Every structure is written in C-alpha cells, then in structure tokens.
Amino acid sequence: MTGPNPDPIVSTLRRLGYSAVVSDACDRAGLRAQTLAPGILPLDPAGPVLVGRARPVHSGVVTVPSDPPYGAEIAFVDSLRPDDVVVGKVDAPTAFWGELFSTAARARGAAGIVIDGWIRDQSRILAMGFPAFVRGGHPTDCHGRLSIDAVDLPVEVGGVLVHPGDVVVADRDGIVIVPADAAAAVTATVVEKAETEDRARLLLESGAYLRDAWERFKVL
C-alpha cells in the first residue's frame, strides 16, 4: 500500500540511505545528536533499512482497564498512513505492540515501528516481515497496565526528541531521526555522499591505499 503521491525524500532514502550515511549527512548539517541511544534493536538484524515519517506516540502507566478496551490504541493504529513509522516511548515493562497491531498497521501502509519499550508476538511479527526496532519482548498484555496518552506530539525516544513528520532511518547499526525541516538538505547530502563513496570503494577495490582514497574523496 502506497500513497498516491510518493514522498520523494522517503523514496530517495529507501534507495540510497542507511543509518551511517544519514548520520554523516546530519553531522554535515550541524545536527550532531540525531542518533537514538543504543539498546533499541531490530527484530530482524538482516532486514531492510526502515525509512519513513515519524508518528510519535507515548504510552503511560495505568492501573484500571480502559473502557472501551484498547480505545486509544485502536484509534491510533487505525489512523496510520502510508510511510508512517510508529515511534513510541513506553513507561513500563509491558508489551505495547503485538501481531494484530502489526497486521493492521501494515494494511494501512505503515512502514514499521521504533519502540523504546517492549512488544510481544515477536516470532509472528518477524515472520510477516514487518520492521520492528524494540527494547525486547514481554508477553504481558498492555490492557489495564499501559494506555496511549499522547499522539502526534514531540516525544523523547532514546535521547532524541522526535516530532511528527521527522524522517526515520533505522537499520542494524542504529536509528537516526532527521528533523523534517532539514530532511531535504540532508537527503541531498546523502545522495552526494553515496555517489562519492561508490567511487572511493572502486578505487580501494583496485588496490589503492586508504590514505589515497581519503585524499581524493574525503570520505571514510
């Protein structure tokens, strides 16, 4: 499922981007603190690079089951759009996300999830190929323990403040958040750097010394 007008930044970064080159491009733009702290890991380390637009969400601790059950969670998942990446902060060691949420999110066109917290049904989510970056697994249901209390507001995740519409680039090396207002410039730098690195790689493969490649291309 894709939108009628593909996001050119998301499309370009899916074609050329990965977390290291995007982080370098952020550095060049003076954005030197855009990588989430280590510990939020891919469910599938060999999976594709996750790229999309952030939908921030926060889930806080509750002690009473909601009425109707899962009301806020159902509304949030049903609101997802093509290329959305759920970027969430969870305040308790309880599963925030599971297989059916993933199935519904994928049907809406969502690109994946980045959760500073825990999920369940990991084997089933892995089998369906839905990209997930999480702290780990926890079998306990969120109902009566957690509830979404903020959607589409800035949320601090892994030490980075994530705003709606920021670009998320995540792979096995880590997760980079590109502010929406810098995304076009950062993407242009990614294109330039990817092309330069390709030329440097060819030079090194021909037997050149690393110092020569550095002097010529100024990339490592």
Report the helix count and the strand count for the chain, using DSSP H and E. Answer: 7, 13
d(CA 143, CA 141): 6
Q: DSSP letter for 91, please.
A: S
Token duo for residue 154 = 């800035």
What contacts 107, CB < 8 A, 6 or more positions away?
Answer: 1
At 182, phi and psi to the nearest 5?
-110, 0
Report the run of H or E that residue 81 belongs to, with start and end: none
pLDDT of residue 219: 86
- Of the pLDDT bands very low, low, confident and very high (cuts 50, 70, 90), residue 151 is very high
Which pLDDT band holds residue 1 (cuts at 50, 70, 90)?
A: low
Fold observed for domain 33-179: Glucose Oxidase; domain 1 (3.50.30)
**What is the C-alpha separation between 156 and 178, in angstroms, rounded?**
14
Please state, in angstroms and rounded to a whole number, the distance separating the CA atoms of residues 218 and 184: 22
Which DSSP state fits 136? E
Assign 3 a pLDDT band (cuts: 50, 70, 90).
Answer: low
C-alpha–C-alpha distance, residues 185 and 204, integer Å: 28
Please tell me the predicted confidence (pLDDT) of residue 94: 95
pLDDT of residue 113: 98
Residue 54's pLDDT is what? 98
Band (pLDDT 50/70/90 cuts) for residue 5 is confident
Asked if 146 contacts 129 with a C-beta cutoff of 8 angstroms, the reply is: no
